[in-house]
Structure 1
Amino acid sequence: MLEAVQLSRTDDVTGTTLLHPCDLTLARGERLVVTGPSGSGKSVLMRALAWLDRPQGVLRWHGHAIDRARVPAFRAAVAYVRQRPALFDGRVEDNLRVPFELHIHRHRRYERERVLAYLAHAGRDATFLEQRADDLSGGEQQLVALVRTLQLAPSVLLLDEPTASLDPQTTLAVEAMIDGWFEHTPQAAFAWVTHDLAQARRVGRRFATVHAGVFATSPPP
């Protein structure tokens, strides 16, 4: 599905190497967990895989190299959920409707029942949709960002510490939500960055580390 060949990133201003050249593949059914210390380059790797920061090297989707023209369709299938989500003014439901205003999703429609099914995993009901985005806690914002992504049925999730601001109970609920997406999405795979080694063992089947910008496969933590 997703293949990176000698993928790397350097700082555009200083020329500092942020991610050393690495090879990585994500096949259907894979659950890759990436661990490593803060500032080691894990987020740099995720953003490069999502083509948010244009990397050096080659990135392929189903065997085809990604270029600028292919990026919108690629990002519709390979979704990046970042550590600090960006929400818009308005209600939670307003934020969840935003992706359907984009040209790439013009053939889709917002499905409230699907959204409520995802929220139920995290103990939220329809009243949550009416809350103002600027009244949400950091953890609730992360929850909204994740549901906003899952409702679009991506094939691959690039998860950059999606539960970092959540309490233990909600963290387990989000893990169950992602597991449900995984089981019901054809061609599903994910790469999940976490500092929580217990979480890594719960959700991962394949493991890797990033240290000082060097990506390497690893045994289970």
Structure 2
Amino acid sequence: MTLLEAAGLTRRVEGRALWSGWSGQVSAGESAALVGPSGSGKSLLLRTLAGLEVVEAGEVCFHGQPQRTWPMPEYRAQVMYLPQRPVFDEGGVLDVLRAPFAFRVHRERRFEVREATRLLTVFGRDETFLARDAATLSGGEGQITALLRALLLEPSVLLLDEATSALDPETVRRAEALLDRWRTDRPGRALVWVSHDPAQRERVAGREWLLLPAGTA
């Protein structure tokens, strides 16, 4: 079953086509890597798939329904983008994790401190991490927090944009294992990775999406 599909996507930046006519899809249960040369717009493409950037030409569909027809909060709750450098509102880690559950789109979900603490143990942290000031987190700690928040919200597709790049090798492996379990734990989930580490892409992705600049043969 195809979860997320793009057809004929084109994006222009300062009058120049960054990519033109790009198409790709990811199916339920799949883990794919988006690869392309530096400057090809991989982050921009992930943000477009997530509904955070305009679709200039072409179409993105989720569960066969065009992105433009979805209520955008509902769409973004299901197709979730994790940036390399997450930014949080003021407060502690617990506040950051709990805050999205107050949004209308997540009204049927309940924030569970016990589940947040359980996930933290995967990364060798305990409940004291929840009291940390989010503004003082290191790059790696911020990535852990963003990843936990996403998993607690249970989307269908996670778009990971160098989302483990600031973690040490052991923690990267723990994150990869956690995401793999999340992907296979329930039907209808998928991962798309952008990673500059070829070894990571080989570990986590079953196949690759190729993104070439417009005009490249």
Asked if these proteins are the same fold (TM beyond 0.5), I'd say: yes
Partners of 2:27 and 2:97 lie apart in 1 by: 29
Equivalent residue, structure 2, for 1:39: 39
Is 1:17 the counterpart of 2:27 in the alignment? no
Partners of 1:73 and 1:215 lie apart in 2 by: 36
1:88 positional shift: 1.4
Distance of aligned partners of 1:129 and 1:36 in 2 relative to their CA distance in 1, 3 Å threshold: same
Aligned residue pairs: how many? 214
Equivalent residue, structure 1, for 2:170: 169
The one-letter amino acid of 2:74's match is A
1:214 positional shift: 7.8
Distance of aligned partners of 1:22 and 1:36 in 2 relative to their CA distance in 1, 3 Å threshold: closer
Partners of 1:167 and 1:154 lie apart in 2 by: 26
1:2-81 aligned within 5 A = 2-11=4-13, 14-55=14-55, 56-67=57-68, 69-81=70-82
The one-letter amino acid of 2:38's match is S
Q: Residue 34 of structure 2 contacts residue 192 of structure 2 at CA under 8 Å; is this kept in 1? A: yes
Equivalent residue, structure 2, for 1:82: 83
Moved over 4 A (4+): 213-216
Residues 117-140 of structure 1, C-alpha deviations (whole Å, 9 max, x = no match) = 221111111011011111110110
Structure 2 residues not aligned, in runs of 5+: none
CA RMSD across the alignment:
1.8
Structure 1 residues not aligned, in runs of 5+: 217-221
Counterpart of 2:59 in 1: which secondary structure?
A: strand
Percent same amino acid among aligned pairs? 43
Distance of aligned partners of 1:215 and 1:200 in 2 relative to their CA distance in 1, 3 Å threshold: farther
Equivalent residue, structure 2, for 1:219: none
Q: TM-score, normalised by structure 1?
A: 0.91
Partners of 2:74 and 2:209 lie apart in 1 by: 27
Q: Residue 155 of structure 1 contacts residue 186 of structure 1 at CA under 8 Å; is this kept in 2? A: no
Q: TM-score, normalised by structure 2?
A: 0.92
Distance of aligned partners of 1:213 and 1:158 in 2 relative to their CA distance in 1, 3 Å threshold: farther
Q: Residue 100 of structure 1 contacts residue 108 of structure 1 at CA under 8 Å; is this kept in 2? A: yes
Counterpart of 1:24 in 2: which secondary structure?
A: strand
Residues 89-108 of structure 1, C-alpha deviations (whole Å, 9 max, x = no match) = 11100000111121111111
Partners of 1:86 and 1:45 lie apart in 2 by: 20
Partners of 1:30 and 1:68 lie apart in 2 by: 25
The one-letter amino acid of 1:40's match is S
Q: Residue 24 of structure 2 contacts residue 209 of structure 2 at CA under 8 Å; is this kept in 1? A: no
Counterpart of 2:43 in 1: which secondary structure?
A: helix
Equivalent residue, structure 2, for 1:134: 135
Distance of aligned partners of 1:60 and 1:128 in 2 relative to their CA distance in 1, 3 Å threshold: same
Equivalent residue, structure 2, for 1:178: 179
Counterpart of 1:114 in 2: which secondary structure?
A: helix
